[in-house]
Amino acid sequence: MRQIYDNYTQEDFEVWKILFDRQMKQFPTHACDAYKKGLKIADFETGLIPDFKETNQILQDTTGWQLAVVPGIVPDYTFFELMANKRFPATTWLRKMKELDYLEEPDMFHDVFAHVPLLTNQHFVNFLEELSKIGLEYVGNDYAIQLLSRVYWFTVEFGLIQEKEGLRIYGAGILSSAGETKFSLSEEPPKHKFSIEHMLETGYRKDVFQTEYFITESYEQLYNSIPEIKKLMQEKLAAIA
């Protein structure tokens, strides 16, 4: 599959612009430094839907990653196999104007605008690659995939990071949502120190704002947690064998 740029409609460009501008107003005080740096590297613009050919060249030159076009949510094996080989699955379709605030399935704004900037950070993509290699080992084991999905969810999708200026967002699920961008950094939801064991014990829902978040200290901490993820998953799987 590939992106067919000429297929984008005027509504698509308007949707991208509205979503882009809305998030950019919040990002100076909400998005993490690595995301903001990555956004400049990716060269995304308001009103201009990214061309995957250009984005892939940028990613290739920066961290060696690429976007791989997918129709939507893909099977576990495909998902992990792509990322284990430095290819991030991304859709090419955009939500409609009436769906600006909520989608059941991630669209291109989430996959590209929210994820791509962090794909320029080497420690982050190293974590993503190694986490995906673990996933490949357990494809077909529903309990193991459920455990691993919790780590992915509370880091890659809904992670927070402590920076010098304060608490910031790096999770793409938050960065693509105007409402959750505000909510996640408010006083309302509980926030926990980074803990793989705690993540493995914590369920989540996809249809509401998260009820709790985890705070990492650095992307190195994410990558360095890989051995612990392997160990704790082995222990939990052995306990039910």
Give catalytic residues, as residue numbers.
Answer: 110, 115, 157, 176
- As annotated, the binding site for Fe cation includes 110, 115, 157
Taking the C-alpha atoms of residue 34 and residue 54, their distance in angstroms, rounded to an integer, is 20
Going edge to edge, which strands form the sheet with 213-216? 166-169, 160-163, 213-216, 191-193
Q: Give every CB contact of residue 186 below 8 A, 6+ residues apart in sequence.
A: none
Which among 162, 136, 134 has a CA at the least distance from the CA of 223?
Answer: 134
Q: Which two tokens stand for residue 139?
A: 């494809």
DSSP string of 165-210, one letter each residue: TEEEE--HHHHT-HHHHHHHTSSSS-EEE--HHHHHT----SSS--
Which among 223, 233, 211, 224 has a CA at the least distance from the CA of 147?
Answer: 233
Which among 46, 36, 38 has a CA at the least distance from the CA of 15?
Answer: 46
3-state class percentages of the chain: helix first, strand second, coil last, to nearest 5: 55, 10, 30
